[in-house]
Amino acid sequence: MRKLIMSVAAAAVLASGGAAFAAVKHTTGTIKTYDGTAMSLVLDNGSTFTLPNAFKNPGLKAGEKVRVSWDMSGKHKIAEAVRIVK
């Protein structure tokens, strides 16, 4: 029983450490280009994001200031949310 409790505790510690590295990042910038067909968004600072298939456009257009919540998938930045900032 003691070994089981120690194993479960060790697994919980390791799992919680991995979650900290998977934190969503945020970037604020101005849209340079938005392509709804290619599902891509490029900001004026050169950051390029891939948008998910279920993305609903909140009215994005070039020149609009946005906040992008994103995470890495391999070498690609995947946008989880894009909000227009006033």
Read off the pLDDT of residues 69-82 as tens digits, 9 standing for 90 and up: 999 999 999 999 99
pLDDT digits (tens, 9 = 90+) for 10-49: 555 555 544 445 689 999 999 999 999 999 999 999 999 9
Residue 1's pLDDT band, with cuts at 50, 70 and 90, is: low
In the DSSP assignment, the letter for residue 38 is T
**What contacts 49, CB < 8 A, 6 or more positions away?**
40, 41, 42, 43, 68, 70, 77, 78, 79, 82
- pLDDT, position 10: 52
**How far is 44 from 26, CA to CA, in rounded Å?**
15
- pLDDT, position 21: 57
Structure tokens at 77: 């930045």
- pLDDT, position 4: 46
- pLDDT, position 2: 53
- pLDDT, position 86: 86
